[in-house]
Structure 1
Amino acid sequence: MIARLLGLATMLLAAVPASADTTLPAAANERAEPASTVRSAEPVAKASFSPDFLLGAEKLEAPRDLSAFAPPAGMKPGATIDAVLRLAPIAGSGGIKTYVDPSSYAAKSDSIGNPPRLEITIVSDGSALIPSLRGPIASDHPDWEWIMDPGTSWTDPADGGWSRAAVPFAFQERNANCTHNGVLTFLYRADGSTSRAAWEVAGETCAYFKADLWGMATVTLTPQAHASRKALIKEYRAEVVARVPTRPIEQIGSMFPAASPSQFGSPEDVKPDNMTAYGVLAGGIHWVGGCMTRHGAYPFCDVLALPSFSLAKSLFGGLALMRLEKLRPGIRNETIGAHVPLCSASQWADVRLQDALDMRTGHYDSATYEDDEGGAKMRPFFAADTRDDRERIACTMFPRRDRPGTTWVYHTVDTYLLGIAMQDVWKKRAGPDADIYRDLIVDPIWRPLGLSPVTFDTKRSYDAARQPLVGWGLTLHRDDVVRTARFLADGARIDGKPVVDPKMLGDALQRNPANRGAQAGAPNLRYKNGFWGWDVSATIGCSKPVWVPFLSGFGGISLAMFPNGVVYYYFSDGYEYAWRNAVKGANAIKPMCGQ
């Protein structure tokens, strides 16, 4: 595991929600590394992969511009695929170039540049190529898990009767959330004949390991009718139709003349070289920034895999307890001691699930912001890959110092223990096969919303328990981000009915002035029910507080839901958590003073 060898596991999840108007505690400032400029790289060839190259035996000597993986305009769909795809990377056929690797992990590892084998079913729908599995695919590889997303096929007369496929993928770090985005391409015929595949990773959302990876792989296509072919196609079509209409962020002034596109994804807030993706939801349109890599624009922005990191504390931990409270009022007052077997009854008997969600368990070493989360004690916790090992560490890591519900200390272990407790509560109610992520989040919320299947599973422990990690480990597409935010802002309703406890959600979204939550690292920051809040009144010159609920994730990930209905998000990896300019841009769309 990369994080284990780097000694950076302590930094995996800590969210540092900063703004130009927020004075960060010293610990957070000391921990942040200088922003890198890794998106920039030497110019690379833009030529597509010729049939001679793909059918030959040459190495891929260097990364190509990603336009080489995209179809030219006006191409017809390729031959229909309904087959099992097997891909085996060819050792020594490519290379790796690191940009951020403080512990020289790439030099120490024999596996980082050699991804795992892959076996997956692919079905065609016109030009679309739809994988049967979406989300991280567990393997025995020490570093990577594949994520496959829908790609495309085409027929180019220059290819001599071959069809060509291009499929977006990501390597997601095993037992972690860092996500490295790539594309692969190969030639094929309807009878299953194939060329080699060229694959390339040219960008990532990962603050502690940034690298280009590239190479070749053998490909076999075994024609085989997939039992769920019709369902896969139906679900994919529904996924595409459900997406919020997009327009380039440069055009936002056409609908909102007072807003400038430069206010969103501003280089004053986040350096462009560290930005993976960003966008704004306003006026029913998803205004999207480019998804640039070190080697050109990513050809499949709609399905670019984005890691949640600590957004999961809100989207999973927060919503799951709100859902449980809706189904069984009072459950949030159950205790960790009653539902987490390895937590001592004497130390945890009065710590409620609500306290764990609020990160006010009374267990900590230091109340100074980020001291505990960034400390050496966290390393074994993040490195553990079984439920019981991680649970044992979490239960005993910090001593009892305060009465629960008082002191706020940012702890990923609190959210993890909340997940263990919720799983126990839910299994006792719904049976031994019950699962909090599937039953409380995916089936009642994500599926009815029509989110992409990449959201339908989460990172879990690697033992038979398959315990969801809860505080990190989700994967999203950009459309999932804005539609989830819209769902929350509209009261978390499905078919007009709330699916979570309305009061808990209202408190989380800063709609209850009497309960804004704990002060969280700065006077104008709050934390409640797994969500952050920021008073932006000083930024936009309001005489009274204007609270903005937001979600924050490690490395530089923010999702803000403004009280005027505007949503802004970005995914980056340079330890930059600022969105002051976006606050001004949202205010230009619709003034927020008095809201």
Structure 2
Amino acid sequence: MKIKNAIIIFFLLTMVISGCLPGNSVSTFPTANTQAPLPTTQHTQPIPTLPPTTSSSTESTRTLLTAEMLMNGFVSDGPLDESALTMPGGAAVTSHTFEGRLELLGEEKNGNIKILRGELEPEFSWLPEFDFEFVQSDGYLIPVERGLIIADHPQWNYILEPGRVWQEAGDGGYSRASLPFALTVKGSNAAFNGTLTFLFNDQQVSKIWYQVTQETTSYTRANLWGQLDAVYHPGKVAGVQQIREDFAAELAARLPVKPIAALAEDYPGVDISAFGRGVTPEHMTWYGVVVNGVNYLGGCQTRFGLYPYCESMRATSYSTAKSAFTSVALMLLAQKYGVEVADLLIKDYVPEYVTSPGDWETVTFNHALDMSTGNYVSPGFMADDNSEKMGVFFGAQPYAERIQAAFDVPHAAEPGTRWVYRTSDTFILTRAMHNYLQTREGTDADIYQFVVDEVYRPLGLGPGAFSTLRTADNDWQGQAEGGYGQWWIPDDIAKLATFLIVDGGRINDEQILHSGLLAAALQQDPKDRGVKINSQSMYNNAFWANRYPKSGAFACEIWTIEMQGVSGNVVALFPNGITYYYFSDNQEFIWDAALRETDKIKPLCP
């Protein structure tokens, strides 16, 4: 890619995705924050309630998105209440079976956008071309293609999720469907959540209504909506029975979910307002507490009400990927091929290091995972990751330009002696592990697919987690990023956290992750605390750690372990085996109140 194009991409990444701090023109792409004190303003989250019923199976009470509106069209100056796209309680079973392709028409000419914060180019206002196969099963509408879908659009890609189908009395014999989807920015990690709905019978569909009303990305907020003509192409879908069976297994594998309010019912005395506290409600995507195998879930509010598909709502990973993918990958390699993998040299597996002005002669995989390669510009907290030079890395494509930008950093300290957060170092490590894996398993091996096959799939994560952001090579099918670039649903986070803090890296009693490396990451090995950030914080194997000394608040010294992401994403693993997580986009990082409250459920100290 020419330098001019890279600069354009960098500008869009800066303004659209991670933005820049007020008065600052540099990128603040995926980083994290270790601040733990409670904020001055004590934000608490609204407790979600069921959306109002829009119709029943016997009597039509619908006033929004009626059959007439979907069949004949209507004009709206913005999105509608999300309840209009939600399957109502008591809805009747559909009398039709949807199987075939759903094709939308006129996407580019019929899109609407209202930018609420930041700036977006005009092409962000319309959807990518939409022509996908779907299969119906037990009241669900399942997209055949799952995960990140690279679209023929200058800015957007798709992630499609299963929706619902049902029957309403006022729909003239047609069945009704809605389904969740996310728009992701091409070459970036930001996610904008939406829903679409339509009527159908065995041969045709109505117009479709879509709206996008929530996002996980700092500095940019926008509503998208529109009504499009559509064509239903009924027909047999290849492998339909397997698709249905796989989806049934996906649902069966999900952890039990209860609303966050049920936590106080199951554990009397717990103040549920402690969870989500400190995060501005309008910037919260979702949050939860995982206790004894149950995922207590809250949030999922949009600007137009409760999102119809909370359990399928995609949140941007940002740097939680450094822990959940890159660190897991190294622990997986160490368990399979020996702990010596952590001490392999970067230079032996990433030949592009020779172009670097830095010194990579003794930098190991583990140094890169710990953000302690000794190659950096400034030792200031997050200074390098927020720098203009790092912005060049974020905008550089394809792989050849990106890896060159990653290595464009001087030598400043001995490896392993100083923590300096650099997302580009994670990219280098991901490439090194990828190339090492190929020496073991052949040239077709891929480091992300390795983690999918060995960890994500056996854990029961759904197919939405089976793809990741990659470099632009081969239509964005190049090297996995590593430092960011995944999209989570709440069940993904609950399972990954349980796998780490409760199960110790085991699946079905088989050790999958190297126990020593995992123990170090979880601060369970006093001889290996990692690299010092400050007097109370450490960084070990891509996990943040905060020390709470023995005091009036706690009867013993405790450590909290976190995955973090720049927008305000926290997955906090507490020493009592409870996980508290939230994904948000106002860069608020706080878990003290939640930590103290979990002590009422399970003691933090032995």
Shift of 1:421: 0.6
| 1:496 and 2:509 matched | yes
Query: Percent identity at matched positions?
Result: 34
Distance in 1 of aligned mates of 2:437 and 2:135: 36
State the one-letter code of the partner of 2:150. A
| 1:198 and 2:209 matched | yes
1:64-83 equivalences in 2 (<5 Å) = 64-78=80-94, 79-83=96-100
Q: Deviations over 1:368-403 (max 9, x none)?
A: 11111111111121112311111010011x201111
Distance in 1 of aligned mates of 2:552 and 2:251: 37
| 1:533 and 2:542 matched | no
Q: Tell me if the contact between 1:536 and 1:545 (Cα under 8 Å) persists in the aligned partners.
A: yes
Task: Name the counterpart of 1:291.
Answer: 300
Distance in 2 of aligned mates of 1:203 and 1:531: 28
Query: Which stretch of the first structure deviates more once superposed, 556-565 or 323-332?
Result: 323-332
| 1:352 and 2:352 matched | no
| 1:218 and 2:218 matched | no
1:182-197 equivalences in 2 (<5 Å) = 182-191=194-203, 193-197=204-208
Shift of 1:542: 2.3
Task: Name the counterpart of 2:31.
Answer: 14
Give 3-state SS (helix, strand or coil) of 1:129's partner: strand
Match of 2:531 among 512, 515, 518: 518
TM-score, normalised by the number of residues in structure 1: 0.91
Q: Deviations over 1:442-471 (max 9, x none)?
A: 111111111111001111112136100011
Shift of 1:297: 0.2
Give 3-state SS (helix, strand or coil) of 2:402's partner: helix
Distance in 1 of aligned mates of 2:588 and 2:238: 46
Task: Name the counterpart of 1:333.
Answer: 343
Distance in 1 of aligned mates of 2:377 and 2:323: 24
> How well do the aligned residues superpose, as a CA RMSD in angstroms?
2.1
Shift of 1:4: 4.7
Give 3-state SS (helix, strand or coil) of 2:147's partner: coil
Match of 1:453 among 463, 473, 480: 463
Distance in 2 of aligned mates of 1:306 and 1:540: 37
1:45-60 equivalences in 2 (<5 Å) = 47-60=63-76
Task: Name the counterpart of 2:131.
Answer: 119
Q: Structure 2: where are the runs of 5+ without partners?
A: 1-8, 21-25, 46-51, 55-61
Distance in 1 of aligned mates of 2:284 and 2:185: 19
Task: Name the counterpart of 1:32.
Answer: none
Q: Structure 1: where are the runs of 5+ without partners?
A: 24-34, 38-43
Distance in 2 of aligned mates of 1:417 and 1:218: 46
Shift of 1:500: 1.4
Q: Tell me if the contact between 2:107 and 2:129 (Cα under 8 Å) persists in the aligned partners.
A: no
Q: Tell me if the contact between 1:59 and 1:93 (Cα under 8 Å) persists in the aligned partners.
A: no
Q: Deviations over 1:40-73 (max 9, x none)?
A: xxxx999431222222243332210000101222
Q: Tell me which stretches of 4 or more aligned residues in structure 1 moved more than 6 Å.
A: none
Q: Tell me if the contact between 1:540 and 1:584 (Cα under 8 Å) persists in the aligned partners.
A: no
Distance in 2 of aligned mates of 1:341 and 1:134: 35
Q: Deviations over 1:326-372 (max 9, x none)?
A: 12221221111111121128821211111101110000111111111
Distance in 2 of aligned mates of 1:460 and 1:206: 19
TM-score, normalised by the number of residues in structure 2: 0.89
Distance in 2 of aligned mates of 1:341 and 1:152: 50
Shift of 1:238: 1.2
State the one-letter code of the partner of 2:564. S
Distance in 1 of aligned mates of 2:260 and 2:551: 22
1:258-407 equivalences in 2 (<5 Å) = 258-266=269-277, 269-329=278-338, 330-344=340-354, 347-396=359-408, 398-407=409-418
Distance in 2 of aligned mates of 1:52 and 1:257: 49
Query: Which stretch of the first structure deviates more once superposed, 539-548 or 497-506?
Result: 539-548
Q: 1:89 to 1:279 in 2, by over 3 A?
A: farther
Task: Name the counterpart of 1:41.
Answer: none
Query: Which stretch of the first structure deviates more once superposed, 239-248 or 529-538?
Result: 529-538
Shift of 1:94: 4.8
Match of 1:138 among 150, 154, 158: 150
Q: Tell me if the contact between 1:83 and 1:122 (Cα under 8 Å) persists in the aligned partners.
A: yes
Distance in 2 of aligned mates of 1:309 and 1:591: 31
Shift of 1:532: 0.9
Q: Tell me if the contact between 2:15 and 2:219 (Cα under 8 Å) persists in the aligned partners.
A: no
State the one-letter code of the partner of 1:453. P
Q: Deviations over 1:382-434 (max 9, x none)?
A: 112311111010011x2011111111101101100001111111112211111
